[in-house]
Structure 1
Amino acid sequence: MSRPSPQPPREGEGEHPSAPENIRAIAPYLPGKSIAETARELGMREADILKMASNESPLGPSPKALAAIRAALADLHYYPDGSGYELKRRLSQRLALAPENFVLGNGSNDVLELAARTFLTRDDSAVYSQHAFMVYPLVVQAIGARAIEVPVRDYGNDLEAMARAVRSDTKIVFLANPNNPTGTFSAWSEVRAFLEGIPPRVLVVIDEAYGEYLPDDLVSPSAGWLASHPNLVVARTLSKAYGLAGLRVGYAFANRDVAEVMNRVRQPFNVNHLALVAACAALEDHEFIAKSREVNARGLEQLEEGLKALRLPFIPSRGNFITVRVGDAARIYAALLEEGVIVRPIAGYGMPEHVRVTIGLAEHNERFLAALGRALAKG
């Protein structure tokens, strides 16, 4: 007589794999609400939704990138170039570095995580600022390392306090300049002095995701620091000013030895074919970048003037966004959402009275300011 087949346990019964405690304690990263999700919830057309939540380009992608994507569509049956040869070559020409200095990533988030996975263990600590990009604490916690969060000064990086926070077990310092979500900026002379005060055994990761929005007199000189600071990693992205957020492509440059070990850790083919060809084309689209910077500068001025008229305090920004104190941010966020305007509440960053607003085209900014005025009046 045959035995009955064993029945699998019902969900919730019996033994099951258990992730380590540090993993189970991670609060998932919550991106800005999408246009499609908002349209479904509100019963609105997607075309009527205005997203000003995720610091995306209001101009769309670089036209040269779009043309390159169309030309590459017939090659999708091939794996991408795992070495990213052409993109590294173009980056090396732009920054006067060797191709071996570069690490490519699926967005700059990828290279930030690569730095942590390569150099950080659960016996180490990592330093970062309060109100800093949420990926820093997330990757530190995922590894099980000890996080050292340094209080801000005027919503910005307190570089002296961050240097003092470095301990004997510290392996990485994360520093965003400009910072997200506050938009604050540290003078490069101060960043250089900070870097020189950090022990050479500690990796300093500078996140320059918003660097393209800086005026010409504030452009980052960090590529020139590699020769004298082999503990430096600089992360950049093509998601913001270049308009390629949907493709996910970023990069880091570092000392050759540092880049080499990071490239050992990264996933094979971590940047897809369309992202590679689009990035190469976008880097050459100087007219588009100039327009992106111009639109952003004008939009920032428009929002600042509008917020002053509403008597709302805001943090002066060097990015493509502005963070404003609105009081009951959850209520304001919900009221704006009812009008189809998506902004970013940042209570998760320890700023429950603020929202972050992406700088848009003039008509976007005007619509947001009008909706914000109505939301405030309801209170």
Structure 2
Amino acid sequence: MSVAITGRDLPAVERAGTQNPAAVRTWLYGLAALVVAMVLVGGATRLTGSGLSITEWRPVTGAIPPLSEGAWLAEFDKYRQIDQYQLLNKGMSLAEFQSIYWWEWGHRQLGRFIGLAFFVPFVWFWAKGQVRGRLALTLLAVGALGGLQAGIGWIMVASGLKPGMTAVAPIKLMLHLTVASVILASLVWIASGLKQRARDAAARGFSRGTTLLVAAVLAQIALGGLVAGSKAGLTFNTWPLMDGRVVPDASTLFAVSPFIENFVDNVALVQFNHRFVAYALVALALWHAFAVTRAAPASGMARRSRGLAGLVLAQAALGVATLVLVVPLWAGLAHQGLAMIVLAMAAAHARITRAEAA
């Protein structure tokens, strides 16, 4: 059940934050969809080996791609100076370079568009008095995080341009993906709070559990970023066993020295961590759905918890398929995209449950 936002029962951040919640909510969900698209284009850029094709960061002038043969040759010459070309792609044609260039250019261009899609409506809503107070400050913080994300993206790319590097540093790719995920979760959280919810006494016992689910999904996405950055998905392509065991030998999991670097640079441990946090996440989602359904079987909270559990199970199955098939482009993108959907669902579930428990 939902009603218009006019009641005294709404949290102050929403009650004092907007007089046009439906429009603001639609805008925020639209931004969330754009962030998902951005993650998918970023995933395609990584899986096609395109991320280092543009070797400079030009936030404004970089929006214009090469428009002449001479400009294309100049961009290609810059790419031929880096080790990815020298060690992996030596001899590639200009047409082949253009195919990877467009992926990276498209990724950056979509980032610019998202920036405009955030700040132009924000200024309009603010000028009309439809976004104000704590809500306005919260949205500005999300916008600032988006600006920071652009800088993180360049730091990530720059790590792959260093001598001896043919790809970006895994830890920086993980950071880039994790910040994008936090932005997505924040947008969905805020949007989900801009609608009054009927109180549900049963929700009070599950609010913390739903927040834990969001944190667990974020942690698993971060570990997935490490898998992607280290290309750990191209190794140990069997399931449920890994290197012939459920738990590989310590000599395999901790083969790198110093010890701490195993968690980033050892593909065996990186993949193992991603596998077992996935098992833990599936167990947590199923337990949560069972507990909520038992406590309030006919509630919206129960339906959401079962839907979320189903998404987590589907994501786990897709992850197994992606691994066994050795990460084809379609499976890698589907796995990354569904991770964003799981996160969005978890964030919405947590925020709505919190409102129902208020």
Task: Quickly name the TM-score band, shorter chain normalised.
Answer: under 0.3
Structure number having the greater strand percentage: 1
TM-score (norm 2): 0.25
Please state which structure has a larger fraction of its residues in helix: 2
